[in-house]
Structure 1
Amino acid sequence: MSHKVFLTGASGFVGSAILRRLVADGTPVVAAVRQGSVAPSALVRCVQFRSFEENNDWDGALAGCDVVVHSAARVHVMNDTESDPLAAFRRVNVEGTLTLARQAVAAGVKRFVFISSIKVNGEGTQPGRPFSASDTPQPQDPYGVSKLEAERALLALAHESGLEVVIVRPVLVYGPGVKANFLNMMRWLDRGIPLPFGAIHNRRSLVALDNLVDLIVTCIGHEAAANQVFLVSDAEDLSTSELLIRMGQALGRPARLLPVPAGFLSAAAKALGKEGLAQRLCGSLQVNIEKTRDLLGWYPPVTVDTALEAAAKHYQEYDKK
């Protein structure tokens, strides 16, 4: 069955990749982009917005669409300057999402695919005890709380209206054009900087951008996806040291790792006020994607090494400084 998709966040890291895939597949798309952004494709109709809050009018953009893929969000930031971060996250991630969903129902949209976050589950796991889609949510920060509240509001709307809601909770997404800590790690490796992660034996689930996009596209039309929550990863968990070694191989710059004990790194990070960064580099966060595989017949089409090579190539061509 052919679908017409309304896609939010179409100029973002994940949204732009979804758009490229939909265009390549020949799927009709209406793309919402932040005002001032360059139109992501001449092949799709674009609508612009100032900020994704509760006061947007999407009626005209939604006309004729039967699926919404909502990837726009106020994203997690390391040093939030808002006086009330939770209120700021709620305005965009909860009220803005629910306004869009209600207007989608009124416009006759049948399915709403919501890109949430693994932060709904929590910040970390014990090795060998991964998060699953059925776990009781335990968000630890305002971003995770706002995503959980949005999920619950959407599922309540689904119950009231018959709208089919699909929730996808990605782990850390990497790929061509990735920013933040992942980009920093590539720069460290490229410059040959010795890194103190040779004794880190944690387990982290990651998801390549192409794998996440493939699952989202699957969720657009798969009957079994309706009103379900899915976790997504590459199905291969790595320690920080393993990730750096394989990233270095992709860059052609062997990782120089020093065997500094994890306890020492955690204590140093705490003293510097960088506990969150230490958790991401030294702690474990694994997810179980059995439900995603069993219910949808989906398995990640791209391997970790292939995805790292694509990220490294983009870095060397566009992001290297």
Structure 2
Amino acid sequence: MNKVILTGSSGFIGQHLHESLLKNSSGVYSLSKEELSGTNKSISESDFFDTNTHENADTVIHLVGAAHSHYSDSEAHFINFELTKKVIKRAVSLNIKRFIFLSSANIYKESKNFIQVDSEVEANSLPNTMKSKLLAEQYIQHVAKNNDIEVVIIRSPLVYGENVKANFASLMRLVGKGLPLPFRLFNKNKRSLVSVYNLVDLIKECIDHPNAANQVFLASDDHDLSTAEMVALMAKVQGKPNLAIPVPVWCFKLAGKLLGKQAVIDRLTGSLQLDITHTKNTLNWSPPYSVEHGFNLAAKK
């Protein structure tokens, strides 16, 4: 396997990917988000990747990103767009052969139908964190057209697994208390998820697969779940009863509007299904791990 420069190595996905790459005896040079960005927004691309240390690397995997609402608009723009610009410029200057960028499936509008890789993206309706992700994608593709570097963009939905944090971990803990939860009627939606184990496997496949060059891929477990199904599986892997109770969805939507939490309710009740046919056919790849495998590991204390 090629020698890899990995950015975002201290993050949730980065830690899993770094460990997996080391098991494959791949040369891995790691940079955390803090090392890459720090507090100095005037950092130049020449400060990335010491030439003597990294000159024999073949691939950059760029995981550093800001996807959560706790980032200000300016922070998200700097991390998602400005840093990405500088990192790929440096990669070009070091004659890196391939640049893999982890983007987000949240650039698509939620839908009840399968989203395909070429589905329309409504840039004007995106929150600023996702606008900056889309800008980064467009810049990466521009660089690839004008330089001798192959790029791979992976658009990922929610990622879960051991040591996951944020909303998935909060819901897992809530279900683990064994209390009745009002999600039984949240059974009409379908959402794509991807375990960190399947995502890591896909990223590794893209490192040296010839067909991955200059492609955009969607990632998922290829097994979509409604919110009710997700809660039931969380209960199962934790050995807890699924005490879901039937509260009408409209009650939640009304409460969301009144409390200013409409975006949270929309994620619980909405659908975001990704069609990964293009990914599977192009790479001759399928997710190797089941959804239950990922939920079991995500439930580990």
TM over 0.5: yes
Secondary structure in 2 matching 1:294: helix
The question of 1:62 aligning with 2:61 is answered no
The question of 1:272 aligning with 2:259 is answered yes
Report what 1:121 is aligned to. 108
Could you tell me whether the CA contact under 8 Å between 1:62 and 1:104 is conserved in 2? no
Shift of 1:190: 1.4
Secondary structure in 2 matching 1:214: helix
TM-score by length of 1: 0.88
Deviation string 1:17-71 (CA, Å, 9 cap, x unpaired) is 1101100111100000245xxxxxxxxxxx6652585624114053221100000
The question of 1:74 aligning with 2:66 is answered yes
1:157 aligned to 143, 147, 172, which one? 143
The question of 1:167 aligning with 2:153 is answered yes
Deviation string 1:126-160 (CA, Å, 9 cap, x unpaired) is 2xx11111112225211111110000000000000
Could you tell me whether the CA contact under 8 Å between 2:37 and 2:79 is conserved in 1? no
Shift of 1:108: 0.9
Aligned-partner Cα distance in 2 for 1:164–1:48? 22
Secondary structure in 2 matching 1:114: strand
Could you tell me whether the CA contact under 8 Å between 1:9 and 1:15 is conserved in 2? yes
Shift of 1:208: 0.5
Question: Aligned ranges for residues 1-321 of structure 1 at < 5 Å?
Answer: 2-35=1-34, 50-51=38-39, 53=41, 55-56=43-44, 57-60=47-50, 62-77=54-69, 79-80=70-71, 82=72, 85=73, 87-122=74-109, 124-126=110-112, 129-139=113-123, 140-201=126-187, 202-312=189-299, 314=300, 316=301
Across the two proteins, how many residue pairs are aligned to each other? 294
Gaps of 5+ in 1: 36-46, 317-321
Aligned-partner Cα distance in 1 for 2:276–2:48? 34
Could you tell me whether the CA contact under 8 Å between 1:52 and 1:72 is conserved in 2? no
Amino acid in the other structure paired with 2:147: S
Q: Percent identity?
A: 37
Secondary structure in 1 matching 2:5: strand
Could you tell me whether the CA contact under 8 Å between 1:74 and 1:92 is conserved in 2? yes
Secondary structure in 1 matching 2:114: coil
Divergent runs of 4+, >2 A:
51-54
- Residues 277, 52 of structure 1: alpha-carbon distance in 2 compared, 3 angstrom cutoff: farther
Secondary structure in 2 matching 1:30: strand
- Residues 130, 66 of structure 1: alpha-carbon distance in 2 compared, 3 angstrom cutoff: same
TM-score by length of 2: 0.94
Aligned-partner Cα distance in 2 for 1:297–1:53? 41
Secondary structure in 2 matching 1:116: strand
Gaps of 5+ in 2: none
Secondary structure in 1 matching 2:273: coil
Aligned-partner Cα distance in 1 for 2:17–2:154? 14
RMSD: 1.6
- Residues 115, 53 of structure 1: alpha-carbon distance in 2 compared, 3 angstrom cutoff: farther
Secondary structure in 1 matching 2:287: coil
